[in-house]
Amino acid sequence: MTIKALDHAATNPRIDRFLAENQPVTPCVIIDLEIIAENFLNLKRAVPAGQIFYAVKANPAPELLAQLVRDGSSFDTASRGEIELVLAAGASGDRISFGNTIKKERDIAFAHQQGVKLFAFDSLPELEKIARAAPGAKVFCRLLTEGEGAVWPLSRKFGCTVAMAEELLLKAKTMGVIPYGLSFHVGSQQIDLMQWEKAIGTCAGLVKSLAQKGVELKLLNLGGGFPAHYHDPVAPLDNYGQQIMTSLTKYFGNDLPEIIIEPGRGLVGDAGVLQTEVVLISKKGDGDDRAWVYLDIGKFGGLAETMDESIQYRLVTPYAAEPSMPVILAGPSCDSADILYEKTDYRLPTKLKVGDRIQILSTGAYTTTYSSVGFNGFAPLKTYCI
């Protein structure tokens, strides 16, 4: 597969204008809040039965959170730190889900004090922590899924088997918390729409089985997985929504439970553009067929999702896409693992030179927060929300 730089028509005019007027020091990410507002509406339209809990980990920039608070979003959080950010942005605790299945008991207690009602778990020890630190909480159990079809790898790190989930939700009733629902995650940047159907079917079976045993679950949390636009084309958001609504109806009829979706990448990914500078273009010897292009952003400065070249970003240079040359793209640090794309066949314009600026598109999610505090002495990736 060959990935070619796009020409300038692919860029966002508002972001272009900001970059031209402000000439910010690179590297930096510019977030267009208007796109996020638009994506929020599109997601609501696509999954009308669902309530949106924005996955804060995708991008916790305060202006972005404030915008989503105004839009009426709720929030999926991974830690006390994220809960504090959401509260500071103006949302009350009842709009927050503590969705990490790995929590310190004192952080659960903190969330409980702040009015957070909804807590995830996938094991007995975690359920016990919630029962002790947040009595009366609504708990939902995360099921193990395989993540087939997801671009970003999904491991067995989260979730438990259906049998264990059933056992734990039955037990929850006796522990002073409310066995409230189920959740799953089909894997981030999921391109196989049928993965939702499969998971929803599994959940429906478990809901029925539990109802027969006296536990009426109220909630189905469909997690994230909605894609951003990287190199490979993705289906329109509406197709995702239709598939999800169809699967829900297939398994639950018209009596749907409360539905939560947790978009992160799908909500903010396409709203961001990363501006970077070309630091060096070189070859290692006279026989080399590819040039090394070194940028001022790398794996440890925010582009962690280039790990194993999983996420393949689209690039825009100041030049027409052709004529082009094959390149290896790497970051600026002295770490030999700091290579962005070597196995993937990226091509950049032959005219490209040191000092040129490149836009990396769809970098609104999972970039700034992966950035290291100062690896090799480089400052963390800066964000501008416009």
- Integer Cα distance of 55 and 364 in angstroms: 13
Q: Does 194 bind its own copies (CB under 8 A)?
A: no
Q: How far is the CB of 41 from its own copies (least distance, A)?
A: 26
Q: How many CB atoms lie within 10 A of CB 345?
A: 14
Among 16, 146, 258, 277, binds its own copies (CB under 8 A): 277
Identity of the residue numbered 171: K
Q: Which residue from 342, 344, 356, 357 is in contact with its own copies, where contact means CB under 8 A?
A: 342
- Distance between CA atoms of residues 226 and 193, nearest Å: 10
190 contributes a contact to its own copies by CB under 8 A: no
d(CA 239, CA 46): 8
**Is-contact 208 200, C-beta < 8 A?**
no
- Please tell me whether residue 289 binds its own copies under the rule CB under 8 A: no
CA gap 28, 119 in Å, rounded: 34
Among 15, 59, 68, 103, binds its own copies (CB under 8 A): 103
Q: How far apart are CA 144 and CA 158, in angstroms?
A: 6
Figure out which of the listed residues 50, 60, 269, 364 binds its own copies, where binding follows CB under 8 A: 60
Residue 177 binds to its own copies (criterion: CB under 8 A): no
Question: In the range 360-379, which residues lie near its own copies by CB under 8 A?
Answer: 368-379
Q: CB 254 → its own copies: shortest distance, Å?
A: 33
* Listed residue (75, 77, 76, 79) closest to 67, CA to CA: 75
What number of other Cβ atoms are within 10 A of residue 187's Cβ?
23
CB of 25 to its own copies, least distance (A): 11
Site for its own copies in 305-334 (CB under 8 A): 307, 330, 332-334
Specify the stretch interacting with its own copies by CB under 8 A; choose among 45-53, 97-105, 191-199, 232-240.
97-105
CA angle 221, 70, 267 (to 5 degrees): 50
Interface with its own copies, residue 77, by CB under 8 A: yes
Rg, C-alpha atoms of the chain: 22
Nearest CB to its own copies, comparing residues 32 and 82? 82
By the rule CB under 8 A, 83 interacts with its own copies: yes
Question: How many residues sit in the footprint of its own copies (CB under 8 A)?
Answer: 81
Q: Which stretch binds its own copies (CB under 8 A): 81-89, 231-239, 245-253, 318-326?
A: 81-89
Q: How far apart are CA 367 and CA 344, in angstroms?
A: 20
Q: Output the CA torsion 356→371→60→259 (10° steps).
A: 100
Q: Tell whether residue 56 is a contact of its own copies (CB under 8 A).
A: yes
Binding mask 120-149 for its own copies (x = CB under 8 A): --xxxxx--x--------------x--x--
DSSP 229: -
Q: Shortest gap between Cβ of 9 and its own copies (angstroms)?
A: 29
Structure tokens at 161: 């088997």
Q: Is 272 in the site for its own copies (CB under 8 A)?
A: no
Residue 307, helix vs strand vs coil: helix
Chosen residue from 30, 39, 57, 141 binding its own copies by CB under 8 A: 57
CA 213, 139, 254 angle in degrees (round to 5)?
65
Query: Which of 132-140, 172-180, 195-203, 290-298 is the region at the interface with its own copies (rule: CB under 8 A)?
Result: 290-298
Beta strand pairing status for 96-98 and 118-121? parallel
Q: Looking at beta carbons only, is 13 or 285 nearer to its own copies?
A: 285
CB 63 to its own copies: min, Å: 16
Contacts of 347 (CB under 8 A, 6+ apart): 2, 3, 4, 5, 324, 325, 326, 327
Q: Is 35 in the site for its own copies (CB under 8 A)?
A: no
Q: Tell me which residues in 149-168 interact with its own copies (CB under 8 A).
A: 152-161, 163-164
Instruction: Give the angle subtended at the CA of 270 by the CAs of 247 and 143, to the nearest 5°.
Output: 35
Euclidean distance between the first and the last CA atom of the chain, given in angstroms as a whole number: 35
User: Judged by CB under 8 A, which of 100, 275, 359, 363 binds its own copies?
Assistant: 100
* Contact set for its own copies, span 200-219 (CB under 8 A): none
Q: Based on CB atoms, which residue is closest to its own copies, 261 or 330?
A: 330
Nearer to its own copies, 46 or 293 (CB): 293
